[in-house]
């Protein structure tokens, strides 16, 4: 009986995802049509809202076809509805973008748009400090993610669409104490320093950070490196990308 019920469930799910008309009496056809339309439109609505820039570039009917392909063939393993966005990014990752006639930057842009949602719902216990002027030790906020893309994803729009990859573009996407999700484009040295901080399990002293930066940039003037780092750290503390902390 259990196997029979599971088989019925599998057939039902397959019929819903296919979107194709089913055989049966008038009532069965009508009910299945409602299920098919309701579930697909829910997924379509969620994908639309999660990837507004990508949608504005691909547009209908190709966008509708893409989401339909995702709905029919890609397995979303999490029961949470917000996991659909991550599953859609994974779906794009496995596509041949050129063969599917999708923009070369589609995966990078989709990941960037998904990351904003992921940061907005990330569940971490963060304690903020109002006094940051005398910070001697810092740590990277757990409400941040460091990413690099071969495209300037923050500039991509329906009116600007790069046709070739370029040098890595570094970003930090973060949520501040007001629960606002923002991003900062990072210069390579700053991205390097934040990457180092992301690998640490304890707070790092600012003096130790400066020493690390100097060792990584031996050809740059010491005063220039230290001054630049002071400005960058102050800015990131103000934005809640970095948090003042006790030393480990």
Cα–Cα distance for residue pair 12/26, rounded to 1 Å: 17
pLDDT for the residue 1 = 46
Q: Which residues, 6+ apart, have CB-to-CB distance to 151 below 8 Å?
A: 104, 105, 108, 109, 162, 165, 166, 169
pTM for this entry: 0.85
The H-or-E segment that residue 206 falls in is: helix 206-216
Query: What integer pLDDT is reported at residue 201 of this predicted model?
Result: 86
Interatomic CA distance for residues 15 and 202, integer angstroms: 52
Q: Where are the beta strands (DSSP E) in 92-237?
A: 137-140, 144-149, 169-175, 181-186, 204-205
Structure tokens at 235: 């800015």
**In this predicted structure, what is the pLDDT of residue 184?**
96
Q: Give pLDDT, residue 229.
A: 87
User: CA 58, 45, 32, 77 torsion: positive or negative?
Assistant: positive
Across the chain, which has 248 residues, the per-10-residue mean pLDDT values are 52 55 59 71 91 96 94 74 88 95 97 96 86 77 97 97 95 96 93 93 88 82 83 92 78
> How confident is the model at residue 49, as a pLDDT?
94
- What tokens were used for 47? 């994908």
Cβ pair 74, 90 in contact under 8 A? yes
pLDDT at 40: 82
Question: In three state form, how does the secondary structure of 164-189 look?
Answer: CCCCCEEEEEEECCCCCEEEEEECHH
Domains parsed from the chain with CATH numbers:
1-102 (no CATH), 125-248 (3.90.930.50)
């Amino acid at each position: 009986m259990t196997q029979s019920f599971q088989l019925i469930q599998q057939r039902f799910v397959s019929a819903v995802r296919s979107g194709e008309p089913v055989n049966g009496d008038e009532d069965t056809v009508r009910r299945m049509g409602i299920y098919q339309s309701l579930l697909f439109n829910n997924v379509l609505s969620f994908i639309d809202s999660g990837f507004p820039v990508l949608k504005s570039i691909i547009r209908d009917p190709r966008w509708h076809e893409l989401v339909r392909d995702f709905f029919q063939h890609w397995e979303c393993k999490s029961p949470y509805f917000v996991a659909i966005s991550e599953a859609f990014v994974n779906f794009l990752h496995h596509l041949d973008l050129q063969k599917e006639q999708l923009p070369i930057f589609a995966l990078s842009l989709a990941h960037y748009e998904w990351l904003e949602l992921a940061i907005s719902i990330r569940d971490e216990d963060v304690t903020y400090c109002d006094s940051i002027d005398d910070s001697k030790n810092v740590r990277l906020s757990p409400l941040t993610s460091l990413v690099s893309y071969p495209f300037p994803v923050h500039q991509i729009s329906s009116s600007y669409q790069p046709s070739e990859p370029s040098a890595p573009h570094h970003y930090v996407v973060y949520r501040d104490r007001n629960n606002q999700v923002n991003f900062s484009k990072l210069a390579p040295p700053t991205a390097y320093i934040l990457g180092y901080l992301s690998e640490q399990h304890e707070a790092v002293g600012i003096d130790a950070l400066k020493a690390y930066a100097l060792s990584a940039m031996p050809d740059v003037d010491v005063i220039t490196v230290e001054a630049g780092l002071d400005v960058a750290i102050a800015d990131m503390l103000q934005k809640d990308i970095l948090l003042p902390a006790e030393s480990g």
